[in-house]
Amino acid sequence: MKLVRMLMLLGITLYVYSCDEGIDQTNDQPGAKEVWMQNIAFVPQQKTIVVGTTLTWINKDAEAHTVTSNSGLFDAEVEGGGSFSFTFNDVGIFGYACSIHPNMKGTIVVNESTGGGY
Ligand SMILES: [Cu+2]
């Protein structure tokens, strides 16, 4: 029973979170180097980072999503509760989508380092 397993995982996740830092849904949002898969959408839909950043997609949904680059740069299936990380070593604009949900699209804008010396 897949549903039972998912519910168990959800229960464990909620338990762990409540022990660690409490549940605060209102202030819960993606970190600077995170994109969430939430309610069958990428959040934020467009993300700007500097080159060399390792971005992590976190699946907040119970169902699986994919992070599939339009140009073939990356392609990962992420189970509910799972995550996927990718390091952007090139400047550019990278479109991607979930191959399971065609309306689920996102864009990563990779800029040069802002500099400022070492
Ligand atoms: Cu999806």
Sketch the domain layout of the chain as residue ranges.
29-111
Q: Which two tokens stand for residue 87?
A: 């390091």
The strand pairing partners of 111, in sequence order, are 50
d(C-alpha 63, C-alpha 66), whole Å: 10
Q: What's the 103 CA to ligand 1 centre distance in angstroms?
A: 8
pTM: 0.74
Other residues' Cβ atoms within 10 Å of the Cβ of residue 67: 25
Q: Give residue-wise pLDDT tens across range 28-66.
A: 899 999 999 999 999 999 999 999 999 999 999 999 999
Q: What's the 90 CA to ligand 1 centre distance in angstroms?
A: 26
CATH, domain range 29-111: 2.60.40.420
- Which helix (DSSP H) or strand (DSSP E) does residue 83 occupy? strand 83-87
- The pLDDT confidence band at residue 20, using thresholds 50, 70 and 90, is very low
Q: What's the 60 CA to ligand 1 centre distance in angstroms?
A: 11
